[in-house]
């Protein structure tokens, strides 16, 4: 008889009846109930292809997509919703901006705190003849904007930087770098995968020209949603799309339309996902970004303080909750992060993320490469008692490690 | 021979996104409108267009312009055209 695959939920629940989910930096969980409800409603009541046909269901589907555009534009401070380009995730948005605008012979400056969704496309561009400078950050992950300015060359066209580290949550000096970019006539591309929705944001006054966001983290939407905000200083004529195809517009032309958002949105949109994203963003606005931020800030401070008091635990980053998002990484002397993650999950029902978090550059900066660290990332649904439970768990693991070290 | 009287103006737009953006701007301005399939003969653009009452055509045009909706053309529909109205 063929062995059956265990049902992940049953398997999971047997070991850990209640999960403390501290992996919100990977994707937020749970989603507000409005999100699955909006997605089900779309599938059951609309379910047509947005903007492809003139019938009422297709028009309604296009309205759903537009409402998501409007919601994101309002939340992130974009004057024109049509400058919100939807795509599958932040990774696609970053690839679109980098590969669409950067040419061989030009030069790009980035930081030592980037995710591989920035680094890998940049390394590929570098291999094809684009100059690249990675500006070092301090061992706490802090970037000196003056170092960015020093890295500029006559052929530099763009600065790319994360808004907040996905490993230690550090808020990067986007405003200061934006001033440098403006002063030198450069484009600034911001990776806001972690920060969009987690902080109040105003794209128009931020100084960023392009901003990549993802829908499934602090915007509380489903996976498969994300996008790129395109500012008015970006020359659209010189901006190549990554994909070309049907857009529902200009249908008698075999050339890709030049106008937004169609130029960059070929193929059927993830309308069901965007229905969920709109619901997530609306929920967020009702709760208040500031409100959630201040709650998360308090919990982060509690977590940082608690961890820093545990013998053998090394907290990475600045250790200052007001300078970061609710993303905290640590190591325990003498314990492999993989083992810590497994024990947190199996023995304490805590879902954390261990390893390099798709950010080898960041871990090199923090001195945790190649072993990595344990990351705990909070979201809107976490509580102080969950933080306290986690602190007790880490304390126990650290004590075991300490005892083990004494025995040998 | 009597002069043609018109019932509707159709605003042809670049894309479905522009159509929805236009609809949202018009409704916010209190101007009744409908999204309908664009007459193929008049449009090489997207499948839908914005239909407004002929008497609100000027006001609607201003609202669309202010909202940044790119209008690719207009078609005026005579009262006796037999087309369905809003
Ligand atoms: C800083 C940062 N950039 C980019 C990404 C990529 O986001 P996505 O997986 O949604 O493409 C992530 C998420 O993992 C991230 O944390």
Distance A360 CA to ligand 1 centre (A): 14
Instruction: Please state the length of chain B.
Output: 86
Q: Is the CB of A211 under 6 A from ligand 1?
A: no
**Taking the domain B6-78, which CATH number applies?**
3.30.70.120
3-state percent helix, strand, coil for chain B, nearest multiple of 5? 35, 30, 35
pLDDT on residue B40: 72
Residue A90 CA to ligand 1 center (angstroms) comes to 6
Mean pLDDT comparison of A201-215, A251-265, A368-382, highest-scoring range: A201-215
A334 CA to centre of ligand 1 in angstroms: 30
> Which of B47, B51, B66 should be substituted to probe chain A, the one whose Cβ sees the most A Cβ atoms within 10 Å?
B47
pTM of the model: 0.92
A-chain residues near B27 (CB < 8 A): none
Closest-CA residue to A50 (of A265, A308, A321): A265
Asked if B48 reaches chain A (Cβ–Cβ under 8 Å), the answer is yes
Residues B23-58: tens digit of each pLDDT: 999 999 999 999 998 887 666 556 789 999 999 999
pLDDT(A9) > 70: no
Q: What is the distance in angstroms between the Cα of B3 and the nearest Cα belonging to chain A?
A: 32
Give A404's pLDDT tier (boundaries 50, 70, 90): confident
Cβ <8 Å between A262 and B15 = yes
Structure tokens at B8: 């509707």
A14-18, A188-192, A316-320, A387-391: lowest mean pLDDT where? A14-18
Taking a C-beta distance cutoff of 8 angstroms, is the pair A322, A174 a contact?
no
Which domains does chain A carry? 20-32+288-402 (3.90.1150.10), 34-286 (3.40.640.10)
Q: What average pLDDT does this structure show over A141-155?
A: 97
Instruction: In whole angstroms, give the CA distance from residue B14 to residue A258.
Output: 10
Any idea where the domains of chain B sit in the sequence?
6-78
User: Which H or E run includes A114?
Assistant: none
Q: Rounded to an integer, what distance in angstroms lies between the CA atom of residue B61 and that of residue B57?
A: 6
Q: Do B47 and A51 touch (CB under 8 A)?
A: yes
- Please tell me the distance in Å from B42's CA to the nearest CA on chain A: 13
Per-residue pLDDT band at A371 (split at 50, 70, 90): confident
Q: Is A194 in the pocket of ligand 1 (CB under 6 A)?
A: yes
The per-type count for chain B, helices as H runs and strands as E runs, is 2, 4
Q: B86: pLDDT confidence band, cut at 50, 70 and 90?
A: low
**C-alpha torsion A201→A203→A207→A211, nearest 10:** 100
């Amino acid at each position: 008889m063929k062995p059956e695959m265990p049902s992940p939920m049953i398997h999971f629940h047997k070991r850990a009846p209640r999960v403390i989910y501290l992996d919100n930096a990977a994707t937020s969980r749970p989603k507000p109930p409005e999100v699955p409800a909006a997605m089900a409603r779309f599938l059951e009541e609309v379910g047509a292809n947005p903007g492809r046909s003139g019938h009422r269901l297709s028009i309604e589907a296009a309205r759903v997509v537009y409402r998501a555009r409007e919601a994101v534009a309002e939340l992130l401070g974009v004057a024109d919703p049509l400058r919100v380009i939807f795509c599958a995730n932040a990774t696609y948005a970053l690839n679109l901006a980098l590969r669409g605008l950067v040419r061989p012979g030009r030069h790009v400056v980035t930081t030592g705190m980037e995710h591989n969704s920035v680094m890998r496309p940049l390394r590929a561009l570098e291999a094809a003849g684009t100059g690249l400078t990675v500006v070092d950050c301090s061992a706490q992950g802090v970037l000196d904007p003056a170092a960015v300015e020093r890295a500029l060359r006559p052929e530099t066209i763009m600065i790319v930087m994360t808004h907040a580290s996905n490993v230690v949550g550090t808020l990067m000096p986007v405003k200061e770098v934006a001033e440098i970019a403006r002063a030198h006539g450069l484009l600034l591309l911001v990776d806001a995968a972690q920060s969009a929705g987690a902080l109040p944001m105003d794209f128009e006054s931020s100084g960023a020209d392009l901003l990549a966001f993802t829908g499934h983290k602090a915007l509380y939407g489903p996976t498969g949603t994300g996008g790129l905000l395109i500012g008015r200083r970006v020359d659209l004529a010189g901006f190549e799309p990554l994909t070309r195809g049907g857009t529902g517009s200009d249908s008698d032309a075999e050339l890709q339309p030049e106008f937004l958002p169609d130029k960059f949105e070929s193929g059927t949109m993830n309308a069901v996902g965007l229905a969920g994203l709109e619901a997530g963003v609306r929920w967020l606005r009702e709760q208040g970004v500031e409100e959630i931020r201040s709650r998360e800030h308090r919990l982060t401070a509690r977590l940082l303080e608690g961890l820093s008091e545990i013998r053998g635990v090394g907290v990475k980053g600045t250790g200052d909750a007001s300078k970061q998002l609710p993303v905290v990484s640590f190591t325990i002397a003498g314990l492999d992060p993989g083992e810590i993650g497994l024990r947190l999950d199996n023995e304490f029902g805590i879902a954390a993320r261990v390893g390099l978090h798709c950010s080898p550059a960041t871990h090199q900066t923090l001195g945790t490469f190649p072993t990595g660290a344990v990351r705990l990332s909070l979201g809107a649904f976490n509580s102080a008692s969950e933080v306290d439970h986690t602190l007790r768990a880490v304390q126990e693991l650290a004590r075991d490690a300490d005892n083990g070290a004494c025995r040998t | 021979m009597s002069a043609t009287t018109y019932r509707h103006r159709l605003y042809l737009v670049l894309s479905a996104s522009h159509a929805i953006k236009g609809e949202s701007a018009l409704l916010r301005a209190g101007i009744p409108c409908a999204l309908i399939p664009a007459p193929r003969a008049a449009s090489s653009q997207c499948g839908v267009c914005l239909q407004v009452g002929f008497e609100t055509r000027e006001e609607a045009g201003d609202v669309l312009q202010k909202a940044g909706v790119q209008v690719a053309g207009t078609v005026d529909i005579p009262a006796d055209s037999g087309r369905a109205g809003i």
